[in-house]
Structure 1
Amino acid sequence: MDKAIESLLFSDTPAVVERKLVNLLQQAPPWRKLEMVGQMNVTVHGLAISGLRSRHPQDSPEELRQRLADLLLGPELARRVYAPHPQSGETEHD
């Protein structure tokens, strides 16, 4: 393993353990790598919603989803993608 790359990965992990992890990841089949990415996405989504909920405890689940969309997509695109239905009577999210 390249020393420059090795030093960038995990500063709190012994090099021998880090090499073992990298080898295991390199040997994992594509389906397993995709599964791990999916699991990480679920975790990140949960952490983001939890953080938003702690900062905005008064928000409804729908408002929290809108705030998450704002974070992930940017406010302008989130409003275009998740705009309220014109007949629903909802107003734009702040």
Structure 2
Amino acid sequence: MRTQSPDTSPEAERVLIELIRQTPAWRRLQLTDRMSLTARQLCWAGLRSRHRHATPAELRRRFAEIYLGTELASKAYGAAPAD
């Protein structure tokens, strides 16, 4: 059997899936929320690192493009800043 991740054994994946199935919905939602927050924080950190001299408005616009996509970010925030 092929696993979702190449570095995970089928048995380990089976156990993980079973643990996830046994986890209450509120806890899965909580974990998902925390992962989403972590992803946003990493995104902001990466933007600040790559665009050290960008204004807060430019950083918000770049963040919007990552999270909303080019079309919606352009509608909401205007044209993307030049690189």
TM-score, with structure 1 as normaliser = 0.70
Higher relative contact order (CA 8 A, sep 6+): 2
The answer for the alignment partner of 1:42 in structure 2 is 37
Moved over 6 A (4+): none
What residue ranges of structure 1 are gaps of 5+ in the alignment? 84-91
Q: Which has the larger radius of gyration?
A: 1
Looking at structure 1, the residues matched to 71 and 10 of structure 2 have their Cα atoms a distance apart, in angstroms, of 44
Identity of aligned residues (%): 40
**1:1-94 equivalent positions in 2, closer than 5 A:** 3=1, 7-82=2-77, 93-94=80-81
Deviation at residue 65 of structure 1 after TM alignment: 1.7
Change (3 A) 1:65 1:8: farther
Kindly provide the CA deviation profile for residues 18-61 of structure 1, in whole angstroms up to 9, marking residues without a partner as x. Answer: 21111000111111111111111111111211221121111133
Instruction: Please give the TM-score of this superposition, normalised by the length of structure 2.
Output: 0.78
Q: Which runs of 5+ in 2 are unaligned?
A: none
- RMSD, aligned α-carbons: 1.9
Instruction: Provide closer, same or farther for how the CA distance between residues 61 and 70 of structure 1 changes in structure 2, counting only shifts above 3 A.
Output: same
Check conservation: 2:3, 2:9, Cα contact below 8 A.
no
Count matched residues.
Answer: 81
